[in-house]
Every structure is written in C-alpha cells, then in structure tokens.
C-alpha cells in the first residue's frame, strides 16, 4: 500500500476539524476517526488476478532459489500460465457445447441400418479387440434397436441417447441409473471426443443382456409390447 491514500485521509480529517469538529480531539474520538478513515475501500482493495499471480510466482521463485533470475522470466511464466488456463477453459467449453449440440439433434440410431443382433455381434468383436469406444457405442445402439424391434420403444427418427434412456426407464425402472450412465458415456464418446473404458463397455453388455432377458412393465393403456 502506498502512503498517498493515508495522507489524503489525514487531510480529510483535518478538513473535518476545520469545518467545526474539535481541533484537539480526545484519544477515543481520534481512534474513531482513524478507524472510520481506514475502513474506506481505497485501504482494503484487493490486488488484481495478475498481481496475485505475480506475487505467487515471486514467492515460489524465492523459495526455490530462483530470485536471481532475469526480470523477463516472470512475464514469460505469467503468459504461459494464462495461456494454459485459457486452453483448459476453451476445451471444457467446447466439449460442453458439442455435448449439448449432440444431445439436442443427433439420433442414437440415425444412419444405422444394422439389426440389434448385428450391432451386438459388432460390439462383441470390438470388446474382444480391446476397442472400448466402438464396443460401447454399438452395444448401446443394440439396446435401443432391440427395444424398437420388441415394440417397447417407438421407431422415432432423431431420438437421442438420453431420450431413449429415459423412455426405456419406464418399462425397466430398475435399470434407470444404468441406462442413464451408459447413455452419458455414449454421448461422451460419440460427441465429446472422450474415450471410455473396457469396464464401461462390459457394463453396457451386461445391461443389454439384462434388458433382453427382462419382461417390461406395462404402462396404463398399453398392450403387450412384444
């Protein structure tokens, strides 16, 4: 903190005295004036982000014995840190935007002509080859395609992975969490450019097998779904 704000504060106190306040205040009144003056924003303003980063770097350099480095090192390090933060934020925002766009417009079975059995065979081969992404995507498509073939789900173009999961959770309520998790992994792999795991692909296979063997619960007004 510079001395200029304090000096101005003392001038303000002096002006207050000349305006009619006692020129020779007692100790308590002087302390009250000083506390009132020091509570103003100019004395409590926090440094900006760049100043805090610079102070942190200076402290780090002093602890690691780098205080004698050239003066241009600190601006360069600051630029690298800010660029890294910007890159991370850009990737996160881009991924979220892609996920939102994919969830809103792309159907889980759009462009798919294979049957549920064919999709299952492809998923099994991909899993055996260690390709978790292809295994999970084809397995979830097989789940949705099988539900369409069994007339559990309507054949609606553009139905997204999460919409299909919510619709399947009605006749299979015990699988609601599993369906939501696999649908989220499907979107992340297909639209988020993020790889999944073999464990998630195996979980999708197990979910497919459970749904295939389960009897769906009928909703009010529905007939037999198969």
Question: Distance between CA atoms of 94 and 54, rounded to whole angstroms?
Answer: 29
Query: Would 176 be classed as within a structural domain?
Result: yes
Rounded to 10 degrees, the C-alpha dihedral 182/185/190/195 comes to -130
Same domain, 38 and 87: no
pLDDT value at position 221? 47
Same domain, 197 and 164: yes
Domain C-terminal end among 44, 60, 76: 44
Same domain, 201 and 141: yes
Question: Distance between CA atoms of 224 and 187, rounded to whole angstroms?
Answer: 31
Contact 157, 107 (CB under 8 A): yes
Same domain, 24 and 63: no
CA 10 vs. chain centroid, Å, equals: 50
Same domain, 67 and 136: no
Same domain, 37 and 84: no
Same domain, 122 and 202: yes
Contacts by 96-99, CB closer than 8 A, 24 or more apart: 98/191, 98/192, 98/193, 99/187, 99/188, 99/191, 99/192
Question: Distance between CA atoms of 85 and 182, rounded to whole angstroms?
Answer: 31
Query: Would 219 be classed as within a structural domain?
Result: no
pLDDT single digits (tens) 173-214: 999 999 999 999 999 999 877 899 999 999 999 999 999 999
pLDDT at 128 over 60: yes
Selection from 68-82, 106-120, 153-167, 201-215 with the highest mean pLDDT: 201-215
Query: Would 187 be classed as within a structural domain?
Result: yes
For residues 123-144, average pLDDT: 96
| b/e code 204-224 from CB counts within 10 Å (16+ = b) | bbebbeebeeeebeeeeeeee
**Domain limits for position 180:** 116-213
pLDDT value at position 191? 86
Span of 2-11, 112-121, 137-146 with lowest mean pLDDT: 2-11
Q: What is the mean pLDDT of the chain?
A: 76
Question: Distance between CA atoms of 130 and 226, rounded to whole angstroms?
Answer: 34
Query: Would 198 be classed as within a structural domain?
Result: yes
pLDDT value at position 201? 96
Contact 185, 119 (CB under 8 A): no
pLDDT value at position 52? 67
At 136, the pLDDT band (50, 70, 90 cuts) reads very high
Selection from 12-16, 50-54, 200-204 with the highest mean pLDDT: 200-204
Domain C-terminal end among 78, 105, 132: 105
At 220, the pLDDT band (50, 70, 90 cuts) reads very low
pLDDT value at position 193? 78
Same domain, 24 and 65: no
pLDDT at 39 over 70: no
Question: Distance between CA atoms of 183 and 207, rounded to whole angstroms?
Answer: 12
CA 158 vs. chain centroid, Å, equals: 26
Query: Would 193 be classed as within a structural domain?
Result: yes
Query: Would 14 be classed as within a structural domain?
Result: yes
In 3-state terms the chain splits into helix, strand, coil percentages (rounded to 5) of 65, 0, 35
Same domain, 120 and 208: yes
Query: Would 226 be classed as within a structural domain?
Result: no
pLDDT value at position 192? 78
Same domain, 128 and 99: no
CA 177 vs. chain centroid, Å, equals: 20
Query: Would 15 be classed as within a structural domain?
Result: yes
For a pLDDT cut of 90, what percent of the chain falls above it?
Answer: 43
Instruction: State the total domains in the chain.
Output: 3
At 27, the pLDDT band (50, 70, 90 cuts) reads low
Same domain, 24 and 64: no
Same domain, 128 and 196: yes
């Amino acid at each position: 903190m510079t001395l200029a704000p304090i000096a101005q504060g003392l001038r303000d106190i002096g002006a207050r005295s000349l305006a009619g306040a006692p020129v020779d205040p007692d100790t308590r009144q002087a302390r009250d004036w000083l506390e009132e003056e020091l509570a103003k924003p100019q004395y409590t303003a926090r440094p900006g982000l760049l100043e805090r980063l610079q102070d942190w770097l200076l402290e780090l350099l002093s602890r690691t014995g780098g205080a004698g480095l050239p003066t241009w090192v600190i601006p360069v390090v600051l630029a690298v840190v800010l660029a890294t933060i910007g890159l991370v934020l850009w990737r996160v925002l881009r991924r979220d935007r892609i996920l939102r766009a994919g969830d809103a417009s792309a159907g889980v079975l759009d462009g798919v002509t294979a049957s549920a059995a064919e999709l299952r065979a492809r998923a099994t081969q991909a899993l055996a080859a260690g390709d978790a992404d292809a295994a999970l995507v084809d397995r979830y498509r097989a789940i949705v395609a099988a539900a369409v073939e069994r007339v559990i789900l309507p054949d609606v173009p553009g139905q997204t992975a999460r919409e299909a999961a919510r619709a399947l959770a009605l006749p299979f309520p015990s699988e609601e969490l599993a369906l939501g998790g696999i649908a989220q992994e499907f979107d992340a792999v297909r639209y988020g450019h993020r790889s999944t795991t073999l464990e998630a692909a195996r979980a999708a296979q197990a979910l497919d097998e459970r749904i295939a063997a389960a009897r769906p619960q009928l909703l009010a007004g529905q007939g037999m779904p198969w």
